[in-house]
Structure 1
Amino acid sequence: MKILLTGGTGFIGSRLVKHLQFNHQLTVLSRTPVKAYQKLGHNLLAIPSLNDINNLNDYDAVINLAGEPIANKRWSKQQKQKICDSRWQLTSQLSTLFAQSEQAPATFISGSAIGYYGEQGQQEVDESKRISDSSFPHQVCHKWEQLALQAASEQTRVCLLRTGIVIGIEGGALAKMLPAFRLGLGGPIGDGQQQMSWIHISDMVDAIIYLLNNKHCQGVYNLTSPQPVSNLEFSQTLAHQLNRPCLMRTPAWLLNSALGEMASLITGGQKVLPTRLLNDGFSFRFTKLEHALKEILLRN
């Protein structure tokens, strides 16, 4: 299968490349192809932009994972625009290329996030939940998804990945949490009751490949474990796996003061279930947080 992949050098994308590059022909979009080759190897083609591509006739599938990290910097007006542009402009460009293709790829898998659901407290939500929300994460994801859906046609099925908190040793939220927890300084945020809808990086990659290979799959999919946990339970489980105490508690007001609006990603939460993935036949390797963290920490 010939696949065009954006975001291939990121946390999720680089792991995905390792699973795809020897069985498929991969073209990876990267602003710096030299760095892409250094990180991913040479068993692929790295290109700097889509500007020289007039259509996607040569591709069987497109996987779109690119986007400015949403939690790396405080949400200034400029940073918000950067987050939006990095998702919306590229996705719009890809959908335009699908429309310009006489033989469009059969599959378009495009990123999104569970931020689509806004803050839901303790309420369980799945793909059937209809949301109208003014929060920045929802607005980003809603338009991102709508732009991707413009590629849908009789030739092309579109799968949207509403991704949760991806945990792995190479990056993501867990990598940021580990230094403090290893020093015995980790603990819950606020009262710790906000829900964390997590997914092991291996299940994340397996799910993308499953959607790629199963033609009956299309539409929105939550990429989260079937067993979300509270922030308190996540903190206690991580501390236990590291044989460290879980006594430190970060007040919500402190994060609100330090991070502003972006603090909602940590102090809020969603209890998101992967109903459609399960109904369509996908099997998770890691459903319990304890087992997921144990496997990840053994790698380090």
Structure 2
Amino acid sequence: MRIAITGGTGLIGSKLTRSLINRGHDVTILTRNRSNKQNKDRLSYVEWLNPNHSPVDELEGTNVFVNLAGETIMGRWTKLKKEKILSSRLEATNELISIMKQMEQKPEALINGSAIGFYGHSENETFDEADQPLNRNFLSEVTHKWEKAALTATELDVRTVFARIGIVLDLEGGAFPKMLLPYKLYVGGTVGTGRQWMSWIHIDDLINMFVFAIENRDISGPLNITAPHPVRMQQLNRTISKVTGKPHWIPAPSFAIKLALGEMSTLVLDGAYVYPKKAVQHQFHFTYEEPEEALKQLLQT
């Protein structure tokens, strides 16, 4: 298949690109700046989000679009930062829909990025793809509006998947390296109350689940990109301590996290038990179902 990816140079996009190429697919990266980017075997670049350039002709024949574009959520959430987080996702998604409308041959599918923040947070509830948000915060509002924009693709008879990504366990980016750092410095401990749920996913399983959604025509609508066994923060913290061999002794109370991170502290202080029911029902094979085995692989212990 020919697959076009927005956000293809990011943490997830770059690894997904390599995986798809290794499986024999042709990948096109949509980029704002095509300079210094050379086309290679099975990999090409197309300029987009440029008012002076229309990429429609170059994208004819694309089977699947994967939309991962958007301002990173990492960093202090100032008013301007929050506006960029939302507007960048809506701009990219609306532009993709516009491109699809102009294509003579519509793509088969749109795999649109999202996050488990859609569900809000709870210490007691369990969420699967059939559930609606329990409460609303900034992240749930962003994901709701992002998915609503992508839903327009279904009007074009395009199979649409909302990839609701959990806490990604990967050493190269995201929240996990920041969770790991205190243990490297021998000051690790329980974060916040420790009772908040961490619905995690190993980066390899995340990439494989995206490929699964691309290649499996039976997958549509919400898809929770999480491992089948979420754990509470305290258990995850203690598992990090066990695998690294570093002490677990200095707690990081909620007020200190909020002081350091501001509103972004919700990423580590609030959580939800999000179960990947659709992936399990479709017999997706998880390589890492428990956090200890995932951490051992990442840290090579």
TM-score by length of 1: 0.93
Distance 1:174 1:41, change over 3 A: farther
1:8 partnered with 2:11: no
Q: Tell me by how many angstroms 1:138 deviates.
A: 0.8
* Alignment-derived partner of residue 45 in structure 1: 44
Conservation of the 8 A alpha-carbon contact between 2:122 and 2:196: no
Q: Letter of the 1:80 partner, please give it.
A: K
Q: Superposition pairs for residues 271-290 of structure 1, below 5 Å? A: 271-290=273-292
CA distance in 1, matches of 2:249, 2:134: 38
State the shift of 1:153 in Å: 4.1
Work out whether residues 122 and 194 of structure 1, in 8 Å CA contact, stay in contact via their aligned partners in 2. Answer: no
Question: Which of 69, 72, 83 in structure 2 is aligned with 1:69?
Answer: 72
Aligned to 1:95: 97
1:28 aligns with 2:29: yes
Answer whether contact 2:101 2:156 (CA < 8 A) is retained: no
Contact 1:133 1:139 in 2 (8 A): no
99, 108, 111: which is aligned to 2:113? Answer: 111
Superposition deviation, residue 134 in structure 1: 3.4
SS at match of 2:153: coil
Superposed CA deviations along residues 8-66 of structure 1, whole A, max 9, x for unmatched, are: 111111111111124121111233445766xx977511233244223643201101111
Residue 272 of structure 1 and its aligned partner are, at CA, apart by: 0.4
Cα distance change of structure 1 residues 24 and 84 upon mapping to structure 2, 3 Å threshold: same
Aligned residues: 296
Candidates 214, 217, 228, aligned match of 1:215: 217
Query: 1-side partners of 2:235 and 2:266: how far apart?
Result: 19
When structure 1 is superposed on structure 2, of 286-295 and 25-34 the one drifting more is: 25-34
Closer, same or farther: CA 35–247 of 1 in aligned 2, 3 Å: farther
- Opposite residue 47 of structure 2, the aligned amino acid is P
Greater CA drift, 136-145 or 274-283: 274-283
Cα distance per residue 1:165-220 (max 9 Å; x no partner):
01112222222223321222112212211010000000000000011111111110
**C-alpha spacing 1:42/1:103, structure 2 compared with 1 (3 Å):** closer
The residue correspondences of 1:44-193 to structure 2 (distance < 5 A) are: 44-51=43-50, 52-54=54-56, 56-70=59-73, 72-131=74-133, 133-153=135-155, 155-193=157-195
2: CA distance between counterparts of 1:36 and 1:195? 41
Change (3 A) 1:223 1:2: same
Question: Partners of 1:292 and 1:30 in 2: how far apart?
Answer: 32
Instruction: Could you tell me which runs of 5 or more consecutive residues in structure 2 were left unpaired when the two chains were aligned.
Output: none
Amino acid at match of 1:27: T
CA distance in 1, matches of 2:260, 2:40: 39
CA contact (8 A) 2:127 2:274 kept: yes
Retained in 2: the 8 A contact 1:95–1:148?
yes
Q: Tell me which amino acid in the other structure corresponds to 2:67.
A: N
Out of 232-241 and 98-107, give the one that drifted further.
98-107
Q: Do 1:96 and 1:151's aligned partners in 2 also have CA atoms closer than 8 Å? A: no
Structure 1 unaligned blocks of 5 or more:
none
The partner residue of 1:204 within 185, 203, 206 is: 206
- CA gap of 1:14–1:36, structure 2 versus 1, over 3 A, is farther
Aligned-partner Cα distance in 2 for 1:239–1:99: 51
Contact persistence 2:115–2:165 (CA under 8 A)? yes
TM-score normalized by the length of structure 2: 0.92
Identity %: 37
Which residue identity lines up with residue 63 of structure 1 in the other structure?
A: V
> Per the alignment, in what secondary structure is the counterpart of residue 110 of structure 1?
strand
Higher mean C-alpha displacement, 49-58 vs 259-268:
49-58
Q: Tell me which amino acid in the other structure corresponds to 1:180.
A: P
Task: State which drifts further: 195-204 or 121-130.
Answer: 121-130
Within the candidate set 213, 226, 229, 2:228 is matched to 226
1:139 match: secondary structure: helix
The 3 A distance-change label for structure 1 pair 145 and 182 is: same
For 1:65-121, what per-residue CA distance to the aligned partner results, in whole angstroms no more than 9, with x for missing partners?
111111x22111100001001111100111122222221110110000001011122
